[in-house]
Amino acid sequence: MKRLSIFVSGNGTNLQRIAEYFANKPNVEIVNVVCNNPKAYSIERAKNLGIPLRMITRQEFNSPEFTEEMASLKLDLIVLAGFLWKIPVNLIQAYPKKIVNIHPALLPKYGGKGFYGEHVHEAVVAAKETHSGITIHYVNEIYDNGEIILQAHVALDEKETPDSLAAKIHQLEQAYFPVAIEQVLFRR
């Protein structure tokens, strides 16, 4: 049985998709959802999915006790699904190549602190890029700098807007993220 935790900060559409993808796979269990935003719709999604929820403050998140708490869950993987805080070094060291993130651009472009969600799409459109996509990668000590697991591309139209690009990126996330998670889980 592979055990994973999903960290969220926002709406939780990737959480929903991942949970649905693994619902009929008895060899994978989503142990909990960790959320740092008390206003996130992800909280409702976790409740509706019947997944235990762990709300976290920044102080708790950066503490050695939180790393110990996560270690006690005997996780195979931590999945960042729209989680916006930088992962503390002690957690990265406790889970080397066992924390994955999805980024809404083709890294190394449009990555790093401040590049998330609509900020990424606005920058891509403003730069008149012809392609964008998603990057699923391992997490290391530097924002959006870990080893790339998978990238998927989409073409931009001449009249692309940040909103239309966001919709295209969302489709890629929904299609590829759960599959990539499964591949990482069973590659070990």
Beta bridge mates, 135: 103, 151
Residue type, 171: Q
| Length in residues, the chain | 188
Answer for the pair 30, 22: CB distance below 8 angstroms, yes or no. Answer: yes
Answer for the pair 132, 166: CB distance below 8 angstroms, yes or no. Answer: no
Catalytic-role residue among 103, 131, 153, 170: 103
For residue 103, indicate whether it is catalytic. Answer: yes
DSSP SS3 for 133: strand
Q: Which residues contact 174 (CB under 8 A, 6 or more apart)?
A: 13, 14, 17
Beta bridge mates, 29: 3
Tell me which residues are annotated as active site. Answer: 103
